[in-house]
Amino acid sequence: MNARELVEQLGQELAEVERAIASHRYLAAPPPAHSLRALAAEQQVILASDRRAFAQLAARFPAGATGEFFLDMAHGEGEALVRLNQLVRSLGLGEAELREHRPAAGCQAYTAFVSWLALNGSRADVAVAFIANLSAWGAACGRLRELLEGRCDTAFFAYFATPPPGFAERALAVADEGLAAGDSPELARRAARLLQAYELMFWDTLADGL
């Protein structure tokens, strides 16, 4: 089995979770200001953690295109942080409020698992999981960009609404390299399933706080 075949199978297996995210109650109407501030504060923690996780993956797998791919992912999280800071300012969040925010376990489960993958996952685990997660996260960000236009700075959501050019093909190449070296397709399937479940948990947790 190659990476494309694996991802196609996962698309069918994860379709129900993806529909649950796409039709999520949090994305049905513009969230209130207090919830947007919570989202931004949670993302501050998530992006900083994910950037370190991708840098760790680049250190674990430094050779060739795989190392470049993970370094680019780390760089992308840094770019996202710049845009997130614009959202933070437009919501009137100060440094003290960000420091005092208590991250919710349901929101942080996603990034905790990304950190686990950075230490324990294979190349195929990470690449396949993020390919599977890309459309759900991107669609949710695109929906929030539409809902929030004119209410706050939406550059953060716009940044993730469209995947980086060539991302899927590069991720497939990394996954294929890992599978050819002996990475387990079943473990990659498990990683994708868990990451998507934690994505849904993120939106559930935000919605529960409305």
| DSSP 3-state of 2 | coil
Q: Residue 149's pLDDT band (boundaries 50, 70, 90)?
A: very high
Mean pLDDT of the chain: 97
Q: What is the DSSP string of 118-183?
A: HHH--HHHHHHHHHHHHHHHHHHHHHHHHHHTTTS--HHHHHHHSPPTTHHHHHHHHHHHHHHTT-
Supply 120's token pair: 């324990």
Q: What is the pTM of this model?
A: 0.96
Average pLDDT of the residues in 186-202: 98
**Are 154 and 29 a contacting pair, CB within 8 Å?**
no
- pLDDT digit string (tens) for 80-112? 999 999 999 999 999 999 999 999 999 999 999
pLDDT surpassing 90 at residue 147? yes
Res. 196: pLDDT tops 90: yes
Write down the CATH superfamily of domain 3-208: Heme oxygenase-like (1.20.910.10)
Region 4-30 average pLDDT:
96
Q: Do residues 22 and 200 lie in contact, with contact meaning Cβ atoms separated by under 8 Å?
A: no
